[in-house]
A and B are shown apart, each in its own frame.
Chain A
Amino acid sequence: GAVVSQHPSRVICKSGTSVKIECRSLDFQATTMFWYRQFPKKSLMLMATSNEGSKATYEQGVEKDKFLINHASLTLSTLTVTSAHPEDSSFYICSAIRDFSYEQYFGPGTRLTVT
């Protein structure tokens, strides 16, 4: 099967600090990965599209300087929340599309709490 991992699964940080979340496709290559944010009992909100070797494409309203995305290899993308504030507390989920495929596979999510 296609497995996507995320690390950490939960993180608590203080306001003003930065947090990095890793997303890995464990058994397939993924030129494209996505980062989503999900509020309680809501659908997935696309934040950005991450393409290996190029700059991420951010959705309207998402601050690229606050949510830094790096996709340095075909199996790893990272999301760094810089200068985190309590309103950044949320469930962040990444996904990856297997190359030459239509299927998008999701990671287990990261629960970020900013105090």
Chain B
Amino acid sequence: GENVEQHPSTLSVQEGDSAVIKCTYSDSASNYFPWYKQELGKGPQLIIDIRSNVGEKKDQRIAVTLNKTAKHFSLHITETQPEDSAVYFCAASFGGTGNQFYFGTGTSLTVIP
């Protein structure tokens, strides 16, 4: 089955700096890669996603890049703010209704004011 690895497990940045979280996956058949933000005591929230036919996607301060050849994808957060502090999870899926998502182990991001 698919195996998703995520690094780093914890990340601290100064407010205004950029944060990068990286994930690798093992199954080349995976074609959908979402990123979730989870605040303490809440469910994960989808913040951005990318499909395998696209190399990069951006939404305001958040961007995701995908390298299919190397089987890795990354989340980039620019101009970080204290409210960006949370746990971030990457995931990989074969896509389509009913297909399981394989999650990374999570990155705890702390933005220091």
Contact = CB atoms under 8 A, between A and B. Distances in A.
A106 B37 CA distance: 11
Contacts of A95: 43
A43 B97 contact: no
Interface residues on B, range: 20 to 34
A28 to B, nearest CB: 12
Q: Is the interface of A mostly helix, strand, loop or mixed?
A: strand
A103 B34 contact: yes
B82 interface: no
Given A104-B46, A106-B44, A106-B45, A97 B97 contact: yes
A46 interface: yes
A49 interface: yes
B95 to A, nearest CB: 5
9 contacts: A32-B97, A34-B101, A44-B44, A93-B44, A97-B98, A102-B95, A102-B96, A103-B46, A105-B46
